[in-house]
Chain A
Amino acid sequence: MSASDNGAAPRGAGEGAPRGGRDQEPDPVAGADAPGATEGSYLSHRGVLSWIFTKDHKRIGLMYLVAVLGFFFVGGVLALAVLLELLSSAGRFFSSDTYNKLFTLHGAVMIFLFIIPLVPATLGNFFLPLMIGAKDVAFPKMNLASFHIYVVGAAILLYSIIASAMDTGWTFYTPYSTQTSTAVISATFGVFILGFSSVFTGLNFIVTVHKMRAPGMTWNRMPLFVWAIYATAVIQVLATPILAITLLLLIFERLFEVGIFNPAMGGDPVLYQHFFWFYSHPAVYIMILPGFGIISELITTHSRKRIFGYGAIALSSVAIAVISFLVWGHHMFVSGQSELAAMVFSFLTFAVAVPTAIKVFSWVATLYRGSIAFTTPMLYALAFLFLFTIGGLTGLFLGTLSVDVHLTDTYFVVAHFHYVMMGGTFIAFLGGLHHWWPKMTGKSYSEKWGKIACALVFIGFNVTFFSQFLLGTHGMPRRYHHYLPRFQTLHVLSTVGSQILALGLVIILVYLLHSLFRGARAGVNPWGGKSLEWATATPPGTHNFASQPTVSAGPYEFEEIDEREGEEKDEEKDEAEKGGER
């Protein structure tokens, strides 16, 4: 079954919606090329060098995609190793040193190489210019440089951690990081370099959104994915320099033993934490905001309903971007900051939940009386709603001072951030990948396998990480591989979950690769989307649009839903394995 068979076909074809339906160019777009326009597809260029030095945002996005997913594979294998080790309470496979090295490498790979560039550099790169009707990003050379710098930085970081068996954890906390004999200098230098790649991406996107929009593409007509990438870019540009200077100071400290982070020399190790989290809390929004953007697209398109609260969703991204700079102290409740500071940070942490909740409510309201199609992307969107809500709410537990004192540095924190990062960002990414896969590759994947894999991922994820919430509340500390026997059952459960999760991900890899070679040709607009990327050829031509599109309406102008249609959908629902979502 191909994606286009299952998507929007039955709707829109109804009476009263003369121009709706799949494979049609959206009404509000004039001048966009008709399906199958003659310009060569962007994929028609051959030769390795033509890829490595391309300035085409679509091909750079694809290269990023391959690189980022490659690192995900590395980080994932490490995670499986960590969880295998936790099967027994005495630690069976690795020494403690090896275990510390494993989770350091896992964390650093997943944060710096995987989840930060995951959405902006891949789907963002590919679709942001398309969605605003531009030929490319504002600075294509800088975009390419961003990718090259990313590869170099990644190589340095990986080599340093592996070759020197670094075990500081991904946060490089002082005083340990200034005292260990491992290659902290070159590892942090690698992260420093990666920062440039992130800043280049962000800077490019901000300028692109400001300056490259097609005629008629007003701010209020921008798809919410674009808004989200924009807000992310602002954080990338404003927060990353702080990480850069933090890491330079750390390097400086190690080279000269200046003492600024060393209490014995009059310095202050907590100062390092302030510096670090001033970047790294905003950074968690670099990770999640693009995910929010994807979810907005999936939910409207696959329920064929105009988004509820467009302005609220768009502006709440910006509000989150602003508040996110003011809450870093919630990572330091037990680090010895003043009580007053702790209270203020706790309050602001609660404040950041407000714009976040506004989004969740808007999505749910969009679904209400929508014509929901349980396509694979939609299943991921629903999974996201479920998982992110748990992740976000447990964030509030941790933001509550009296509760955090007990939960900090336990598996509860581990579960929290995996629910938001993996259950949030990564699940949203998977949804987006399926949503846009036909447009990017020109091929349809198997909806049946898509749904099976989604269910496996959803179940595996919850089994893996919900058990960790329980472990945390029972007092299991993070980063230990020897533990009290009473924790073992939950650890075993968690490990089993991780195997299910891995199986689901392998299935996804297999059917997506299969679709590249054997998949049916995808239509121009398999889901009946209304934003500009669906108005160009599949896959898009080298210059995106055959002629400059002009825009005269918003991105979600779906036809009115016929009241009776809701009932007809019931059979489809059963088929869609909704069980996995509950």
Chain B
Amino acid sequence: MITQATEEHGHPAHLEHHFSTPEQQKSAAKLGMWIFLATEILFFGGLFMAYGAFRYFYPGTFVAAHAYLSIPLGGLNTMILITSSLTMALAVRAAQLGDRKLLVRLLGLTLLLASGFLVVKGFEYSHKLHEGLLPGKYFSAKGIAGLPHIFFGIYFAMTGLHGVHVVAGMIVISWVLIRARQGRYSAEYYTPVENVGLYWHLVDLIWIFLFPLLYLVK
């Protein structure tokens, strides 16, 4: 499998001691990331199951209540996130090419877009708060057929947890951004950038499922 030169100390600085080659280290890190993404998918999978169960129990409620979500704002956020996925992908490419300046800029842009997403989401949430379109016992709006307190419970659970993931994504993007500015990455070593990119795409992907399921119910 691997041929070794254990005792040599001429290995690159980023190679951790317990790995024998940079390739081994890199493929381990990537496999680890993919498994982590699988856990995230299962985690949200549970929420999607809850969504599915209640949509099945109360289809009328979902149709009636979804009308109170703003499709323009949701659509805008979808565009923002897709664009941020693009800038992230370009950032990974910049890292591969060893272009530090471009990498830093694109990561910065991705961060900006992520904050834009949160701002829009914030507007939506404060609007819901005003109207009393809230989960469970805090629900106070009138005139929606069915069991809207459950719909909004699910809405806030799903988008809220997604929002937490956006924030986590921003934290790790900032982390690679700082390290990119320090010049820690090169065309030989950019695994963290790639892994953070993978994570960000997943956050994006989850939203792409959330948007139609919540906003575009028929």
Contact = CB atoms under 8 A, between A and B. Distances in A.
Interface of A: 134-136, 138-140, 199, 203-204, 206-207, 210-217, 237-242, 244-246, 248-249, 252-253, 256-260, 265-268, 271, 275, 547-548
A259 B45 contact: no
Contacts of B39: 199, 203, 237-238, 240-241
6 contacts: A135-B18, A215-B1, A215-B4, A238-B38, A241-B40, A256-B135
Contacts of B1: 213-217
Interface string B27-61: 11001100110111011111101100110011000
A134 B18 contact: yes
The interface size bin for chain B is 35 or more
B6 to A, nearest CB: 5
B31 A548 contact: no
Contacts of B136: 253, 256-259, 265
B31 A260 contact: no
A266 B65 CA distance: 15
A260 B44 CA distance: 17
B13 interface: no
Most buried by A among B3, B36, B50: B50
B14 to A, nearest CB: 14
B57 A268 contact: yes
Contact of A257 (B43, B53, B137): B137
Contacts of B156: 256
Contacts of B18: 134-136, 140, 212
A281 to B, nearest CB: 15
Given A211-B24, A215-B1, A266-B58, A256 B38 contact: no
Interface stretch (B67-75, B85-93, B145-153, B207-215): B145-153
Q: Which 8 A-B pairs have the closest CB atoms?
A: A258-B153, A245-B46, A258-B136, A241-B43, A136-B18, A257-B137, A256-B136, A241-B42
A245 B153 CA distance: 14
Most buried by B among A203, A253, A268: A203
A237 B38 contact: yes
Contact of B28 (A212, A215, A245, A267): A212
A542 to B, nearest CB: 11
A207 B32 contact: yes
A556 to B, nearest CB: 21
A134 to B, nearest CB: 7
Given A207-B35, A241-B45, 18 more contacts: A134-B18, A136-B18, A138-B32, A206-B31, A207-B28, A211-B27, A241-B46, A242-B46, A245-B44, A245-B46, A246-B46, A248-B161, A249-B47, A265-B136, A265-B149, A268-B57, A548-B6, A548-B20
Contact of A260 (B2, B43, B45, B153): B153
Contact of B43 (A215, A216, A244, A265): A244
A480 to B, nearest CB: 33
Contacts of B175: none
A239 B39 CA distance: 8
Nearest to B138: A256
Most buried by A among B4, B39, B147: B39
Contacts of A265: 136, 147, 149-150
Given A138-B28, A266-B147, A256 B53 contact: no
B205 interface: no
A215 B2 CA distance: 6
Nearest to B44: A245
A367 B3 CA distance: 38
B193 interface: no
Contact of B50 (A211, A215, A249): A249
Most buried by B among A206, A241, A242, A547: A241
A416 B37 CA distance: 36
A242 B38 CA distance: 12
Nearest to A218: B1
Nearest to B36: A203
Contacts of A249: 46-47, 50, 157
B154 interface: yes
B11 interface: no
B4 A548 contact: yes
B46 A256 contact: no
Contacts of A248: 157, 161
Contacts of B181: none
B101 to A, nearest CB: 30
B65 to A, nearest CB: 13
Contact of A259 (B35, B44, B150): B150
Nearest to B137: A257
Contacts of A266: 57-58, 147, 150
A260 B50 contact: yes
B50 A271 contact: yes
B46 A259 contact: no
B6 A256 contact: no
Contacts of A213: 1
B127 interface: no
A249 B135 CA distance: 12
Nearest to B23: A211
Contacts of A239: 42
Nearest to B32: A207
Given A135-B18, A207-B32, A215-B1, A275 B6 contact: no
Contacts of B42: 238-239, 241-242
B184 interface: no
B32 A256 contact: no
B153 A252 contact: yes
Nearest to A545: B6
A246 B44 CA distance: 11
B179 interface: no
A475 to B, nearest CB: 35
Nearest to B24: A211
B149 A259 contact: yes
B218 interface: no
A259 B147 CA distance: 10
A359 to B, nearest CB: 26
A525 to B, nearest CB: 23
A256 B138 CA distance: 7
A257 B137 CA distance: 5
A260 B57 contact: no
Nearest to A544: B18
A436 B37 CA distance: 35
Nearest to B35: A203
A271 B153 CA distance: 15
A19 to B, nearest CB: 25
